Every structure is written in C-alpha cells, then in structure tokens.
Amino acid sequence: MSTAALNQLIEAARLDPDHVFSAPWEARAFAIALQLSERGHFTWDEFRDRLIAEVGASDRIRARDGTSAPGEYYDHFLHALERLLQEKSIALF
C-alpha cells in the first residue's frame, strides 16, 4: 500500500534534497508558530497536540477511503495554529 506515493516523494527529495518548504506561506506559518511559542503565547507541546489531532483526522479518512494526497502537511499545520489561537482567544477566525 502507498508505495507509489512514497516513491514519488523519495524521488522529489532526491532531486531537491534541501527542500523544506513547498511554498513561502508554509515557511511563514512555521515561523509564526515558532515565534509565538518562544514568546510564551503557547507551548510547542500545546501546538503539537493540535497538529497531531489534525494529522490524525486526515489519516483516518485516508485509511478509510484509501485516498492518497501527499503534501498537505502544512495545511494541517495552519489549521492547528488557527485552532490554537482561537482556543487561546489570541485571534478569532
């Protein structure tokens, strides 16, 4: 299962080994989350809990439907960040 999907990602990493972010907004989202945690607005553990929840929900859908859509990690990341900021009443969406 999923071998083709993984092979595609492995090949992409071979072509561009230093690739960390796929788009500038991913880098901004990461840096915003990291800076907010460094400034004490939340802990990285709190953020990670939301990220795990977002990733887990997506995993369950994929496991059930057998769908495969790689490369959406930072979508989960952004949802997790928005959710946490809302819960902490730092920003409302």
Partner 1 sequence: MSDHHNTDDSGPAARVKALEALLTEKGLIDPGAIDAIVDTYETRVGPRNGARVVAKAWTDPAYRKRLIADATSAVAELGFAGPEGGHLVAVENTERVHNLVVCTLCSCYPWPVLGLPPVWYKSFAYRSRAVSDPRGVLEDFGLELPREVEVRVWDSSAEIRYLVIPQRPKGTARMSEDELAAIVTRDSMVGVAKVEAPRA
Q: How far is the CB of 36 from partner 1 (least distance, A)?
A: 6
DSSP letters of 32-57?
A: HHHHHHHTTSS-HHHHHHHHHHHHHH
57 binds partner 1 (CB under 8 A): no
Using alpha carbons only, how large is the chain's radius of gyration in Å? 15
Question: Which of 52, 57, 86, 87 touches partner 1 by CB under 8 A?
Answer: 52
Per CB under 8 A, 7 contacts partner 1? yes
Q: How distant, in Å, are the alpha carbons of 28, 47, 60, 72 from that of 52?
A: 20, 9, 12, 14
| Tokens read off for 82 | 């928005």
Give the number of residues in contact with partner 1, rule: CB under 8 A.
56
Question: Residue length, the chain?
Answer: 93
Q: Is 20 in the site for partner 1 (CB under 8 A)?
A: yes
Which positions lie near partner 1, rule CB under 8 A?
1-3, 5-7, 9-10, 12-13, 17-32, 34-39, 41, 44-45, 48, 51-52, 55-56, 58-59, 62-63, 68, 70-71, 73-75, 78, 81-82, 85, 90-91
